[in-house]
Amino acid sequence: MGQEQAYDLCVTSTDESRAQDLVKEIQNFASASVPSDEVVDNNLVTTLPSDKLDELQDLAKKHMVGVKINGSKLLLYGMAEDIARARHDVMAFLRTCHSARWSSGERMTDDYLEIDSISGYVEDAFQHNRRYTLFTSQSGKDYRLKVKDVVKIRLLPDKREIRLHRRMSITYDDIPNTWTPHPHEVVDTVPVEGEELDRVTSLFETNRKSKSEIIDVRKVYRIQNRLLHKKYKASEETLALQNGRDKVNECRLYHGTSVEAVEMINKMDLTEVTVAKMTPNLDKAPTFLSTHPTHQETHTRPQTQRGLKYVYQAKVLTGIPVEGYPKMKYLPLRDGKSTPYDSAVNNLKAIDAYAIFKDDQAYPEYLITFTVAAISRDNTPVGKTRAGSRGEQNRDSSIFSTEL
């Protein structure tokens, strides 16, 4: 129990037509035994961020049901008893993904009701379908709330009932599940280990184009900056509303740096460092990131006697890109629209490098420290790396190389 199992069912018969008829009967039985159930029909379902969708998939798997979003509808499918058990937990989960604010629609009335301070009472009564509720606000005022087809409230002893309207909005938890709780720290760097370390180093190795060196990853640090992450998630929502959720295009990219810049990046962002270091005379300048860490590695220098190098794995919202050019200072407008593109790339047909022009479109997720050793003809490491010569080759391969 609790484990999903799959079986191959073979139908054999000397009469081919009878075998086909039996297959159809089995398929019809399976379709009838795997019903679907609509959990919610609301446009906010289409605005769920990718991390919430992943959590929803995991929740569905625990209940051995499938989940599908069809337009504004969220559907569960599977065995009827599994759907019934899953439905309650899915609805509870969806309530955590959104926030509700109540108002009368009039500023003066909202001030009269102190609506900002009592909105939580109203939402709680609404969620639990309490038809009549008496409560006292923190300021000592007494209210009578009525929840029926519409929600009405009155401030006692006034007999005038005022209709309230519920407005929903998407919310984002600015602390990912993998973060270590440090409630008093706005910025923190945490050494990672276990599965998280394996995941980062595996992606690093997979994305590494050149295999002519031995890469020794020494340490990986998770960057926990609540303010930066909140800005990043707000930017994700902006792009989703502008482009559609399927064209937000979050990527994992790499940005090489020096040890002197690490503290500033952790506290501020990648763009601020680029502006200060590369183009101090410009108010804004693009941030350059690569699809493979070995490209970025050529733009970092060993900072200690041990030859440590530094590269960030960043979450980047690339949106709808346009092909760029050297010394690009701003993004052009999309064809026939007043909206600019979201990022620039070196080559739309073979993307190696991105440039973003808004600091909240990238978040420095992990700092990776490593050393590099070249491989000799007999496949043994040699003391001197070939990063310099490879760097010259990469400078010709990307329009953004000179700025990286």
Tokens at 203, concatenated? 């992606």
**In a shared domain, residues 252 and 313:** yes
Provide the whole-model pTM. 0.54
What pLDDT score was predicted for residue 363?
93
Burial of 223 (0-12, 13-18, 19+ CB in 10 A): buried
Last-in-domain residue among 97, 119, 144: 97
- The segment with the largest mean pLDDT, out of 119-128, 168-177, 365-374, is 365-374
Same domain, 230 and 275: yes
Shared domain check, 369 and 288: yes
Domains contained in the chain, number? 3
Per-residue model confidence (pLDDT) at position 275:
41
- pLDDT band at residue 40 using 50, 70 and 90 as cut-offs: low
70 and 86 housed in the same domain: yes
Residue 5 lies in a domain: no
Per-residue pLDDT, 100: 66
Range of the domain at 250: 187-397
Q: pLDDT by residue (tens digit) across 45-85? A: 666 666 678 888 888 888 888 888 877 678 888 887 788 88
Q: What is the pLDDT of residue 344?
A: 94
pLDDT band for position 369 (cuts 50, 70, 90): very high
Residue at 151 is within a domain: yes
Among 97, 116, 147, the domain-final residue is 97
By the 8 A CB rule, do 77 and 66 touch? yes
**Secondary structure (H, E, C), the chain:** CCCCCCCCCCCCCCCHHHHHHHHHHHHHHHHHHCCEEEEEECHHHHHCCHHHHHHHHHHHHHCCCEEEEECCEEEEECCHHHHHHHHHHHHHHHHHHEEEEEECCCHHHHHHHCHHHHHHHHHHHHHCCCCEEEEECCCCCEEEEEECCCEEEEECCCCCCEEEEEEEEECCCCCCCCCCCCCCCCEEEEECCHHHHHHHHHHHHHHCCCCCEEEEEEEEEEEEEHHHHHHHHHHHHHHHHHHCHHHCCEEEEEEEECHHHHHHHHHCCHHHHHHHHHCCCCCCCCEEEECCHHHHHCCCCCCCCCCCEEEEEEEEECCCEEECCCCCCCCCECCCCCCECCEEECCCCCCCEEEECCHHHEEEEEEEEEEEEEECCCCCECCCCCHHHHHHHHHHHCCCCCCC
**Mean of pLDDT values over 368-388:** 60
In a domain, residue 215? The reply is yes
Q: So what's the pLDDT on residue 362?
A: 93
* Mean confidence (pLDDT) of the chain: 76
- pLDDT band of residue 281 (cuts 50, 70, 90) is very low
Q: How far apart are CA 263 and CA 267, in angstroms?
A: 6
Average of pLDDT values for 113-122? 79
pLDDT of the residue at 399: 39
pLDDT mean over 210-214: 73
Q: What is the CATH number of the domain that holds 47?
A: 3.30.1370
Report pLDDT for 140. 81
CA-closest candidate to residue 354, choices 305, 319, 302: 319
In a domain, 10, yes or no: no
Determine the pLDDT at residue 4. Answer: 47
Return the CA Rg of the chain: 28
Q: Tell me the two tokens of residue 320.
A: 């709808």
Tens digit of pLDDT for each residue in 380-393?
555 443 333 333 33
* Residues 344 and 265 both lie in one domain: yes
pLDDT (average), residues 200-208: 89
pLDDT at 105: 80
Question: Are 37 and 129 members of one domain?
Answer: no
Residue 23, domain member (yes or no): yes
Does residue 25 share a domain with residue 148? no
Q: Which residue did the predictor score with more confidence, 330 or 177? A: 330
| Of residues 303 and 140, more confidently modeled | 140
- Of the chain, the percentage scoring pLDDT greater than 90 comes to 16
> In this structure, are 275 and 329 located in the same domain?
yes
Q: Are residues 121 and 61 in the same domain?
A: no
Specify whether 196 is located in the same domain as 61: no
Single residue among 63, 97, 131 that ends a domain in this structure:
97
Whether residues 292 and 228 share a domain: the answer is: yes
Is 289 inside a domain boundary?
Answer: yes
Given pLDDT bands bounded at 50, 70 and 90, which one contains residue 282?
A: very low
pLDDT (mean) for 14-22: 82
Kindly list the strands in the beta sheet with 162-170, ordered across the sheet, starting from the edge strand earlier in the chain.
98-103, 162-170, 151-155, 142-147, 132-136
Lowest model confidence (mean pLDDT) among 199-203, 209-213, 265-269: 209-213
Q: Which CATH number does the domain housing residue 262 bear?
A: 3.90.228.10
Considering the domain boundaries, does residue 28 fall inside one?
yes
Q: Is residue 1 included in any domain, yes or no?
A: no
pLDDT in tens, 176-193: 767 876 655 678 889 999
**Same domain, yes or no: 199 and 134:** no
